[in-house]
Amino acid sequence: MIKIEKYIEQTVLKAQTVDADIENLVREAKEYGFVGVCVPPFWVKKAKREIGDADIQLVSVVGFPLGYNLTETKVFETEQLIKMGADEIDVVWSLTSFKAGMNWPKIELAKLSQLCHDQERILKVILETAYLSDKEIIQACEICADAGVDYVKTSTGFAPEGAKENHIKLMRENLPSTVGIKASGGIKTLEQALGLVRAGADRIGTSSGVHIVKTARE
């Protein structure tokens, strides 16, 4: 039996997030046993205080949600988040340079990987699969693996489509076993979450974690 709560990163990344949302997010993570919470950079310090000594990974985002920030900006943002207590960084890769056929995504991700690993932090890379063909997803996975990232993630949740089982399977087939997969974007039901885990997802990013776990426990 899959313990779905151990896969879930309960997420609040809406533009109108307020402090009460962060308090509620962490409270739910403690109550339902989620592996982590994902919060906007602005709220990392607050989330860190709320988590205290609980065994919950604190995740935040860099270059979010479009990824076309300068690499120097992403590096600086990552450094600041680590200083404030983030355990894991979810960076939106440079989709724009990838689409332009440049080698820049690998250079950027290698820099961020080294920065995170030097500080014993985890780097996850958001591909935004809604904008990629199957061939491009395979290329993206190869770039991420070569750059030394820890996880590859499907989506920001801001694109027209989120996580799909066929994309997770494709990613799993084209990533080494040492690189995990985070499914995110539009995951609202237990059925969806279980399907994605069976397809190869190691993490589930969702704002519907409470509903998913309650359904699993019925």
Residue type, 160: P
Among candidate residues 74, 106, 124, 182, the one labeled active-site is 182
21 is catalytic: no
Among candidate residues 90, 106, 124, 164, the one labeled active-site is 90
182 is catalytic: yes
What do you get for the CA distance between the two ends of the chain, in Å?
Answer: 14
Among candidate residues 74, 106, 124, 153, the one labeled active-site is 153
Catalytic residue numbers, as ranges: 90, 153, 182
